[in-house]
Amino acid sequence: MADALTITDLVAGYRPGLPILHGVSLRARAARVTVIIGPNGAGKSTLIKAIAGLVPVTSGTIAAETEITGLRPDLLARHGIAYVPQSDNIFRTLTVRENLDLVLRHVRADAPARRAGLLDQFPVLADKLGDKAGALSGGQRQFLAVAMALATAPSVILMDEPSAGLAPKAAQEVLEHARALTETGVTILLVEQNVKQALRLSDHCYILADGRNQIDGPAADLLDDPVVGQIYLGGKRVAS
């Protein structure tokens, strides 16, 4: 299986001279779910934001079909990449239809047909087209955010803690839908704090701590690995 996204020796941070990521490397296989986990402050969200062009990269490379290191966020879609932030990922004062149409107006394909296709994927949104997005439930807002990401027909979707703040049932539905997207050929790279659920639904897992790679492997193999718990508790590091 080919790699859809490759990160090599990435050093990045919000302020010059104060990196949060210290040489992180990662490969996301095409049409698979790759999850990034780790304790608070590990650099997980920083990594996703660096890929999305929101955090300056000091060194290292980010490559999809071509190198995209330092690419501006507004150019991601041209390279088949969509980004779903943890928060502020929809326009709450606009209706569901207006949120979708805001993205679709930049898509060359037939917008009404594309909208209909998205609503087929997210039937819960079809009954809410005229509702303000801010009035949706937490899970419905996440589905809208993912639908907006899919509007550009990406090959890779970056998701930053999609289950954060959701009730357990809604969190499971959101993660299961992310898993289902791989059946259409979409690659999912996600940061997730809901560790056990994410590991059950992912193909491969990378664990970060202190802005560095710790261990990685098939998600199913790490589900009951005691080292995972030790890293979360802060007493185990396998990379210096």
Q: What is the CA angle 112-113-117, rounded to 5?
A: 115
Tokens 């955090």 correspond to 55
Four-point Cα dihedral 38, 223, 183, 164, nearest 10: -40
Ordered alpha helix ranges (H), the chain:
44-51, 96-104, 111-121, 123-126, 138-150, 168-181, 195-201, 219-222, 226-233
CATH code for the domain of 24: 3.40.50.300
Please check whether residue 239 lies inside any domain of the structure.
Answer: no
Q: Which pLDDT value is given to residue 230?
A: 82
Question: Could you give the number of structural domains in the chain?
Answer: 1
Does 237 have pLDDT greater than 70?
no
Query: How many of the other CB atoms lie within 10 Å of CB of 38?
Result: 24
Quote the CA–CA distance of 71 and 54 in Å, as a whole number: 9
Please check whether residue 238 lies inside any domain of the structure.
Answer: no
Please check whether residue 148 lies inside any domain of the structure.
Answer: yes
Please check whether residue 40 lies inside any domain of the structure.
Answer: yes
Please check whether residue 240 lies inside any domain of the structure.
Answer: no
Backbone angles phi, psi at 159, to 5 degrees: -125, 125
Average of per-residue pLDDT across 107-116: 83
Does 24 have pLDDT greater than 90?
yes
Query: Which residues form the domain of 131?
Result: 3-233
DSSP string, 150-179: HTT--SEEEEE-TTTT--HHHHHHHHHHHH
> Whose CA is closest to 190, among 64, 59, 5?
5
Please check whether residue 192 lies inside any domain of the structure.
Answer: yes
Quote the CA–CA distance of 145 and 216 in Å, as a whole number: 28
pLDDT digits (tens, 9 = 90+) for 82-94: 999 999 999 999 9
pLDDT digits (tens, 9 = 90+) for 166-211: 999 999 999 999 999 999 999 999 999 888 899 999 999 999 999 9
For residue 109, name the pLDDT band (cuts at 50, 70, 90).
Answer: low
Backbone angles phi, psi at 142, to 5 degrees: -70, -40
Quote the CA–CA distance of 101 and 118 in Å, as a whole number: 11
Sequence letter at residue 139: G
For residue 224, name the pLDDT band (cuts at 50, 70, 90).
Answer: confident
Please check whether residue 81 lies inside any domain of the structure.
Answer: yes
For residue 110, name the pLDDT band (cuts at 50, 70, 90).
Answer: confident
Please check whether residue 136 lies inside any domain of the structure.
Answer: yes
> Whose CA is closest to 77, among 98, 52, 43, 60?
52
Give yes or no for a contact between 48 and 160, defined as CB atoms under 8 angstroms apart: yes
